[in-house]
Amino acid sequence: MNEAGKLVSDSVIVMTELVLPNHTNQLGKLLGGQLMHWIDICAALAAAKHNQRICVTASVDRIDFLHPINLGDAVSLVASVNRVFNSSMEVGVKVFAESFKEGTRYHTNTAYLTFVAVTSEGKPVKAIPAIPVTEDEKRRYDEALERRENRLKNRKK
């Protein structure tokens, strides 16, 4: 880490889960709540890795389910800090499902979560700034500010 912060790429977490019968509904599809649980864990790890401290979930933006995920699929979740504000930060998670049997891989979800860096007593503390480098990181950095402004605007309604 330098004085300005840490690179966005240093916060990346990749998690892979296998969809087992206890993760599915009666149709053999991954339960939405199970996927949300995995998304929250992956995002929390990215936030904690970036800040080198405990980070807690403050909010979850809308999650759209683009494709069902089947029993036996491998689910890959890729999370990174998009932008840090003060004690809060936005973490983006992209989800992919892969069927090794069929040789297919598809994007199933994108989610944005807000986390807050806290002390071991649970008090908010200033988070480490995120430094975007690639064009994609810079785009996500800029879009995170727009999403934050919308969240704050909607909170005041």
Q: What pLDDT was estimated at residue 1?
A: 55
| 147: its two tokens | 């999403």
What's the rounded mean pLDDT across residues 38-44? 98
What's the rounded mean pLDDT across residues 23-44? 98
Percent of the chain with pLDDT over 90: 89
Give the DSSP letter of residue 128.
Answer: P
pTM of the model: 0.93
Longest dimension (CA), the chain: 52
Stretch among 1-15, 80-94, 105-119 having the lowest mean pLDDT: 1-15
∠ CA 70-75-80 to the nearest 5 degrees? 145
Q: 46-49: which pairs have CB atoms within 8 A and are 24 or more residues apart?
A: 46/11, 46/12, 46/13, 46/79, 46/80, 46/81, 46/91, 46/93, 47/11, 47/81, 47/89, 47/91, 47/115, 47/117, 49/10, 49/11, 49/13
Classify domain 6-155 by CATH number.
3.10.129.10
